[in-house]
Amino acid sequence: MKLCFNLDRSVLAKCFSGETRQRLRRLVDLDPRVPECGGLTPDWLGDVARDCDGIICGWGSLPLDEHVLSAAPRLQIALHSGGTIRNIATPAMWRRGLRVTSAANVNGVPVAEYCLGMVLMCFRDVFGQQHRFHANGRKAWKPPEIRSYLGSTVGIIGMGNAGKHLLKLLDHFQMRVLIHSFYPFDAPAGVEQVGIDELIRRSDAVVMLAPNLPEFRHMMDHRRFGLMRDGSFFINAARGALVDETALIAELESGRISACLDITDPEPPVEGSPLYRLPNCILTPHIAGSNGSECLRLGEQVVRELERYLAGHPFENEITEEMLQVIG
């Protein structure tokens, strides 16, 4: 079996260690050709994939469209080292019957860990304390009464890869957990599944991990932000389009809630946006997903999926055309 890369050199170096590439070469005939950044073109890819049975994709990969597929008649599988496959998915790919796997299950791990960190720091008022030190210096050294997380309620909107992992992480803490899933999901004992509005009303921290689908655009609007408890926190590590930013800013300016935003819409916020200056808004520049050495997990997941395929086992995280209707 022969595989090639639909990646440029920078992504290959970030996600595939030398050891991971050696493991690939032991499993298959691996075409080592990878272009420099900016050198990935449909003609280049069609030529490389011409006699390949599988293709390894990831961040910045070209779509597997009719042009590429017609030049590569043997392609059977696409192993995606990124999260969502929307950058490579085309109708031609599904017509060909290509089997596709994604490393989204692995990429969801750091997203969940980011959200947990934000939840714990919010309940400890870490960000509020830092703001008071910046404003008042030594005079702010007066430990206040804080809520803490013990007995607090966390609501998770979305039971995708990150939501499921966050649910496991929260099991180590004495918090009540509410969830809303957009597809059938068997919640573990002690976890309550509720509607979105009820989740928002009852939660001290609302974590947005919903899929980025057109019908969910601005699902967090004026009405839903109005349902949040006074003093509660909104954490978004999904997509900015899920949030009506005007509505969020209005609530933040009232001082009634706080927010931790890893993504916005647009990204970054427009020049002069109140999100840059509001003391109850924590901004991070889209860092919740895999970064640094965490990216190497993505390449390792590709190897594991290839091993499963060669052994005749089901993929761990296969993506079908139907699934694209409910995942981001």
The domain covering 2-102+292-325 belongs, at the CATH homologous superfamily level, to NAD(P)-binding Rossmann-like Domain (3.40.50.720)
What secondary structure does DSSP assign to 74-114, as a single string?
T--EEEE-SS--TTT--HHHHHHT-EEEESHHHHHHHHHHH
The structure tokens 């967090």 sit at 220
Q: Judge contact between 77 and 315, C-beta under 8 A.
A: no
DSSP state of 315: P
- Domains 2-102+292-325 and 107-283 alike in fold: yes
Distance CA 103, CA 301 (A): 6
pLDDT per residue as tens digits for the range 205-218: 999 999 999 999 99
The structure tokens 């049975």 sit at 53
Please compute the mean of the pLDDT values over residues 285-308 and round it to a whole number: 97
The structure tokens 């926190």 sit at 233
Q: Judge contact between 167 and 179, C-beta under 8 A.
A: yes
What secondary structure does DSSP assign to 112-170, as a single string?
HHHHHHHHHHHHTTHHHHHHHHHHHGGGG--PPP---STT-EEEEE--SHHHHHHHHHH
pLDDT per residue as tens digits for the range 46-72: 999 999 999 999 999 999 999 999 999
Q: Where are the domains of the chain?
A: 2-102+292-325, 107-283
Q: What per-residue confidence (pLDDT) applies to 148?
A: 81
Q: Which residues are CB-contacts of 197 (< 8 A; sequence separation ≥ 6)?
A: 224, 227
How do 54-57 and 77-80 pair as beta strands?
parallel
Residue 267 annotated in active site = yes
Q: Is the pLDDT of residue 145 over 80?
A: no
Distance CA 285, CA 20 (A): 29
pLDDT per residue as tens digits for the range 4-19: 999 999 999 999 999 9
DSSP state of 228: S
Altogether, the residues listed in the chain come to a count of: 328
Catalytic, out of 25, 95, 253, 267: 267
Q: What per-residue confidence (pLDDT) applies to 265?
A: 96
Q: What per-residue confidence (pLDDT) applies to 291?
A: 94
**Degrees (nearest 5) of the Cα angle 50, 87, 169?**
120
pLDDT per residue as tens digits for the range 261-288: 999 999 999 999 999 999 999 999 999 9
pLDDT per residue as tens digits for the range 208-258: 999 999 999 999 999 999 999 999 999 999 999 999 999 999 999 999 999
Catalytic, out of 9, 99, 286, 304: 286
Residue 239 annotated in active site = yes
Q: Residues 151, 257, 145, 143: is their CA dihedral positive or negative?
A: positive
Catalytic, out of 80, 96, 239, 251: 239
Q: Judge contact between 154 and 120, C-beta under 8 A.
A: no
Give strand pairing partners of 3.
Answer: 30, 54
Q: Where is 282: in which H helix or E strand?
A: strand 281-283
**Degrees (nearest 5) of the Cα angle 230, 234, 238?**
165
pLDDT per residue as tens digits for the range 74-128: 999 999 999 999 999 999 999 999 999 999 999 999 999 999 999 999 999 899 8
How do 191-193 and 99-102 pair as beta strands?
unpaired
Fold category of 107-283 in CATH: Rossmann fold (3.40.50)
Q: Is the pLDDT of residue 157 over 90?
A: yes
Distance CA 93, CA 98 (A): 6
pTM for the structure as a whole: 0.92
